[in-house]
Structure formats: C-alpha cells, structure tokens
Amino acid sequence: MGRRMKVGGLTAVLAVVGAVVATTVGAAPTGKVAVVGFATPDKVNNYGWDQQGYIGAQKAAKATGAKVKAAVAIGYENVEPNLRRLAQQGANIIIAHASGYNTVGQKVAAQYKVPVVVWDSPQGSKPGLVGNVLTKAQGGAYLAGVLAAQQTKTGTLGIVVSASDRNWFLQSGGYCQGARSVNPKIKFKYGRIGQADYSDAAGGKRITQQVIAGGADIVFGMGDGASFGMMQAVETAKAPAGASKVYFIDVIGDKSKIDKKGVLLSSELWNFAPIYTKAIKDVNAGTFGKKTYVLDASNGISLLKTNKAPASAWAKVAAAQKKIANGSIKVVSTATESAVKKYCKA
C-alpha cells in the first residue's frame, strides 16, 4: 500500500523531516530484536499512512524492548540504498512500510538475512525472512457508514478516492454496507481523482466539490495528501439542500489538530502497533514469515470518536464493531471499482 503526498495549501502544517532518524524508545532488548528498522515514503507528521506507521513501529519497539532506526520521506526511487543502510546499521527486522517496497524488501532480506515486513504481497512471504501484511479495511469503513447514515440530513453520502487502490475500494464498499445497515435507502455519490493521485490535493478538492454538488452532506475521503484538498472542499462548501453543514470522514490518521472549521466527523483509524509488535515477537520466537498478518477491525482498525455525533450514534458504532470482531457481521469484500459501483449503485 504505497503512498505519496502533496498537501497543497496545507504544507505549512507539515514540518520537514530528515531522511534518516534514530529514535530510542525502549531499554535493552530481552529477545533477538534490538533494532527495528522502519522505512516509509513520506514525512512522518502527515496525519496519515506514514505518521501512523511510524507511531506503530515506535510502540512495537517499546513493547519489545528495542529501539527504532527510521528512514523516512525516502520516496520510491532510492528505496534499496535506504533499506540496505538500515540493515548495515544493525536492524534486526525492517518494516518496509509501503507496498511499493515489496520487491526491494524481499531482495534486501535475502541479501542481508534480515527479516523484512512487506505489504499486500502474500506470494512474497518466506519463513524467517519475509512477512506479509494484508488489511481488511472494509470493517472499519462499515463503522464509518453506520455513523454517517445516522448523521446525514440529505440521505446522500459522498465517497472520494485518490487512486485505483484495493484498500480504498474495500473501504468504499464497507462504507456502503454500514450505511445501508442503518438506512437501506441511502444514496451515494462516488468520485475518483485518478489512477494513483494520492498526493493530488487540488484534485481531491475538485472531486469532493462535485460529490457535494450532487447532494452529499458527508464525504468519506481516502487520499493521503489528496485528503487535505478533500477536507478543504468540505470546509468551504455550501451545504446542499436539507443540510446546514457538510462533514468529512477521514482515513488512517487523526486530523483533529488541524480541524479549525469543525468539519471532521470522524476518521477510520489504523493502528499498526499490534501487527508490528507481533512481527517482532515472531522474529524472537523463530516463527516470522510463517503466517500472514492481518490488520482489521479486531486488532487495529477503529473509528475516531468525536463530539460531532450524539452518544446514541456512537453506541450503534460500538455495537457494530463488536459484531464485526466476533464474526456476526460479515462485511462483503469489494476489491475493485466495478464491485464498488455495483454494490453501492453509485
């Protein structure tokens, strides 16, 4: 799940982060892993994929008595030298925090005999060397749909994605299912910026304006850097007929600190700490790479609780999350855009 970001007018809120950062987060190790290497495409203060991954790696290292060496904001063109450097600097496990790093991650794992965590590459798993992570993000999006269906005044919800991305499609379908579990008559307006426009804030703003013009008063936006443009569109939108305000539901991180207009209804949060902790413990136990790690609504995906909805709405969200976790609610997978459009009738 590779990510790149350009935040347009909101770049001022993001401080520049150096390419390589060393952070000590724990005492002397008690197992085999003393140093956790972490590599990610963008800055680790972007309220999204990169920041949440870095926080997850830090928490995982602290939980296992290790320290983190991080190569951040390295993009996609010089990944191999950065992963090699982490291995040479003593990393006992490397978290390659982008699906665009899979091939290089496997190569470095084989060359340096260092366990590497990759994303969305089940075929790349190799016991002792390569461990793969998959997401079932549709469960968290289902919860967002449950919330949105209770809060919409127009009966129309917006979905905006930045790219042709499997996780975005899974979440779009999950959102539809959650909303229709509350109100089967809910309508959807769907828009995609481009093929891989994760960083296109201007495009995010433009497409979001279009779905709002179509009657959506709550927008579920998936975009990384593009999400800043989506949020800007919501902040400046004229509410459609029947609504007094437009709200935004984000993904992966928490933009509450920059929500100056009070439009952030919620966010589907991704906590990477549990799976990264498990990966480290598996290296220590000699079981790394034997099973795929899955991030879902039972072990890391949840919904940010805000004061923009009443307690009764959050109670329904909590009840739904329990049912997803215990299997009594099964969220259908919509891994392609055609599946999303067919399922959501958007």
Show the domains of the chain with their CATH numbers.
8-135+272-295 (3.40.50.2300), 138-269+310-344 (3.40.50.2300)
pLDDT of residue 2: 46
Give residue-wise pLDDT tens across range 276-304. 999 999 999 999 999 999 999 888 999 99
Determine the Cα–Cα distance for residues 101 and 95; give it in Å rounded to an integer. Answer: 10
The stretch 178-193 carries a mean pLDDT of 97
The stretch 248-255 carries a mean pLDDT of 97
| pLDDT higher at 208 or 30 | 208
Please state, as a whole number, how many other Cβ atoms lie within 10 Å of the Cβ of residue 127. Answer: 13
Q: State in Å, rounded, how far the first CA of the chain is from the last one.
A: 25
The stretch 41-70 carries a mean pLDDT of 95
pLDDT of residue 122: 86
Does residue 217 surpass a pLDDT of 50?
Answer: yes
| Reported confidence tier of residue 346, pLDDT bands at 50, 70, 90 | low
pLDDT of residue 12: 32
pLDDT of residue 31: 54
Read off φ and ψ for residue 69, nearest 5 degrees.
-115, 125
If we measure between CA atoms, which residue out of 51, 60, 120, 46 comes closest to residue 93? 60
Give residue-wise pLDDT tens across range 56-82. 999 999 999 999 999 999 999 999 999
- Cα dihedral 212/213/216/217 (nearest 10): 60
**Residues ≥6 apart with Cβ < 8 Å to 82:** 19, 20, 39, 71, 74
| Reported confidence tier of residue 29, pLDDT bands at 50, 70, 90 | very low
Give residue-wise pLDDT tens across range 304-318. 999 999 999 999 999
Could you tell me if 38 and 95 are in contact, meaning their C-beta atoms sit under 8 angstroms apart? yes
pLDDT of residue 345: 86
pLDDT of residue 124: 86
Length of the chain: 346
The stretch 177-203 carries a mean pLDDT of 95
| pLDDT higher at 71 or 9 | 71
As a whole number, the mean pLDDT across the chain is 90
What's this model's pTM, rounded to 2 decimal places? Answer: 0.86
If we measure between CA atoms, which residue out of 121, 72, 69 comes closest to residue 92? 69
pLDDT of residue 298: 84
| Reported confidence tier of residue 15, pLDDT bands at 50, 70, 90 | very low
